[in-house]
Chains A and B, each alone.
Chain A
Amino acid sequence: MVATTPRSTVTPTATTKRRRRGRLRLLSRRDKFVVAAMLGIPLLLDAAFIWFPALASIGLSFTKWTGVGGVHLTSCANLPSVPGIPQAGCLYGVQNYKQAFTNYPPFWPAVQHNATWLLVFIVLATPLGMLFAVILDRGIRGSRIYQSILFLPVMLSLALIGIIWELIYSPNYGLINTIIGRNGNNNLIDWLGDPHLNLWALLVEATWRQAGYVMVLYLAGLKSVDPALREAATVDGASSWQTFWRVVFPAMRPINIVVLVVTVIESLRAFDLVYITTKGNIARGLELLSISVTQNIVGETQRIGFGSTLGVILLVISLVPISIFLYQAFRRENR
């Protein structure tokens, strides 16, 4: 009788394990072939076109390569270089990193601008989107129309957003300068050209889109909060402010993480708006890591090693939010 207690807890796991293994054994030969294809083809695509390049960028970041003549596994110092003939790829040590940090003028401005981008998303776009969601979730009159309008920019491409906002910011004819009376040739404000203003002008555009995105995520989050929690808080005499911050907001933890991850990743990915506004060039005031990366492959001289180095720096930064998300999403299954 004493032994029954441990046995009864052990037996179910044993049977499920046996059944699981059984399920695999039940597969016919044809089924096994089908399973291999169903797993293999997506896996091959993901491995070849996402993870192989991601890992290759780490390797290439330690090389110097103009894209001509393959990569040799010898140090650049030992490789003969003939003037006029581009040197083949060679091992360059940490020189690219050194150069990025000390001898590449757009680098630190780019880091600063990416950080500003993130900061504006965190202090402006995200709270605004959350506020919209909270208001709409209360079901005020016109909620549906408000939601549709605030959501509209999320559907538009960033290229389109960049183009239509140029009309708002246009120095001579634009909406803002006309309204504030700065559209004369002697007192123009060049919102998109002035290095002190252009980042902020683009961040308004980006916020215009991001807030709607965050709003939709939080609308889903608010719906998933058990109404009983709120009612209990109200019964206990909590104000609606307290109820939200002490009860509802913590209960939305999964969504908060998703929003955080989306916010960080989107500010690292920021590219399209700047590209459209600067016509693909590096413009003072609008340096971003993403723009610097592509400058190294679309220009006249390819700098594969250096471009990869900037990519790896982006990778290292983005691994932080990615890990947070993966931990949150998969820890339940791992238990």
Chain B
Amino acid sequence: MTATTELPAPFADARPRPIGPRRKRGVRAGGAITQVFMIVMVVLWLTPIVFALYVALRPEAETNKLGYVSLPHHLTLSNFANAWTQSQMWHFFLNSVYITVPAVVITLLLASAFAYVVSRLSFRFNIPLLILFTAGNLLPQQVIITPLYRLYLSIHLPTGLTGSGLLYNSILGLIVINTSFQLGFCVFVLSNYMKTIPTDMDEAAVVDGATLWTRYWRLTLPLCRPALAALATLLTTWIYNDFFWAITLISTGSKRPITSALANLQGQFVQNQNMIAAAALLAAIPTLIVYAVLQRQFIAGLALGSSKG
């Protein structure tokens, strides 16, 4: 494959370059205007979040009298406490964990296995298979939802496995669709990544009699750690934030993961916007932690996904 000599380029380029003279030249008379522009933008960008936090920290009785844009008489955490206790948020949060963790692990496992085979062995169908997966991930979810919904209603499973006896309205069903839908993106990223890893070691291992599984699991996967970490971060955020699959494929409110449960909470606390804001912010805590700790991984994942587009 001629591509092997070309492919490493995007990844090499993704490495941060030392700050060269080009960057210093950017600071000119326009620098002040740029700074003002960026500060205005950053303030605009922060406003909705800070405003939501401010509303969530104030008692409803007070904002009903004064509106949200007013000086506070009381700041309280009671909205957060009430949202937490009155809406079983812990329960919804656990649902999200039960969906997200298996889905991320299974997706990465299956995608890396598939990517390993198509990037290391030459079949005639390598490229068509990759195209199939990549295209599948780009489809709008609404294209497949109607038949998928009927499919989920027609797949019967042992009740011990799902509770509903169907793939529809089950946590397992959400794991399956999230996994299937994200496979395409991960296969695309991982197969590109694996192609940049030299095959010499692989070939040496063949000579030593290593099985294919050993070469994949012991040799290649450890080298893919940066890509796997970035993808895990992306997938966790995306699947945790998923709204559409949970709204359409789960009918029992109590089985919903937390992001889609927010839609129910909106109805439940319709008179108390302050508490809805508090609930929404509580639901965002895991993604905010990812944002604070793993932002670089997340961005690296997006860069990997686009570097060879």
Contacts and interface: CB of A to CB of B under 8 A. Distances in A.
A27 B216 CA distance: 14
A258 B189 CA distance: 14
A280 B263 CA distance: 9
Contacts of A168: 47-48, 51
A150 B45 contact: yes
Interface string B23-67: 100110001001101100110011111011001000000011001
A297 B19 CA distance: 55
A24 interface: yes
Interface in B218-261: 237, 240-244, 247-248, 259-260
Interface stretch (B74-82, B87-95, B157-165, B284-292): B284-292
Given A35-B121, A164-B277, A254-B309, A297 B129 contact: no
Contacts of A257: 309
A261 interface: yes
B204 interface: no
Given A157-B259, A175-B68, A220-B307, A261 B138 contact: yes
B17 A227 contact: yes
Contacts of B244: 271-272
A57 B213 CA distance: 38
Contacts of A82: none
B146 interface: yes
B147 A53 contact: yes
A43 B118 CA distance: 12
The interface size bin for chain B is: 35 or more
B110 A45 contact: yes
Interface stretch (A73-81, A119-127, A134-142, A195-203): A134-142
Interface stretch (A98-106, A186-194, A304-312): A304-312
Given A38-B114, A135-B34, A308-B146, A155 B212 contact: no
B51 A157 contact: no
B114 A39 contact: yes
Interface in A190-222: 208, 212-213, 216-217, 219-221
Nearest to B111: A42
B295 interface: yes
B69 interface: yes
B99 interface: no
Contacts of A212: 45
A140 B38 contact: yes
Contacts of A138: 23, 26-27
A332 B131 CA distance: 13
A174 B68 contact: yes
A94 interface: no
A3 interface: no
A75 to B, nearest CB: 21
Contact of A50 (B63, B122, B136, B295): B136
Contact of B69 (A175, A208, A268, A310): A175
A107 interface: no
A307 B116 CA distance: 38
A217 B305 CA distance: 9
Contacts of A1: none
Q: Interface residues of A: mostly helix, strand, loop or mixed? A: helix
B21 to A, nearest CB: 9
B176 interface: yes
Given A167-B273, A217-B302, A53 B31 contact: no
Given A216-B299, A293-B142, A297-B149, A152 B35 contact: no
B51 A329 contact: no
A271 B141 CA distance: 10
B194 interface: no
B131 A326 contact: yes
Contact of A275 (B49, B129, B247): B247
A275 B260 CA distance: 10
B144 interface: yes
Contacts of A311: 142-146
Interface string B131-156: 11111101111111111111101000
Contacts of A208: 45, 48
Interface string B176-193: 110111011001100000
A38 B263 contact: no
5 contacts: A23-B122, A45-B176, A152-B49, A167-B277, A297-B146
Interface pairs A-B: 8 shortest CB-CB:
A138-B26, A157-B241, A220-B303, A56-B147, A53-B144, A164-B52, A258-B309, A38-B113
Interface of A: 20, 23-24, 26-28, 30-31, 34-35, 37-39, 41-43, 45-46, 48-54, 56-57, 60, 67, 132, 135, 138-142, 145-146, 148-153, 155-161, 163-168, 170, 172-175, 178-179, 183, 208, 212-213, 216-217, 219-221, 223-224, 227, 230-231, 254-255, 257-258, 261, 265, 268-269, 271-272, 275-276, 279-280, 289-290, 293-294, 296-298, 304, 307-308, 310-312, 314-315, 318, 321-322, 325-326, 328-330, 332-335
Given A54-B147, A220-B303, A289-B142, 11 more contacts: A38-B117, A56-B147, A67-B150, A155-B290, A157-B243, A159-B260, A178-B67, A258-B309, A311-B146, A329-B309, A333-B3
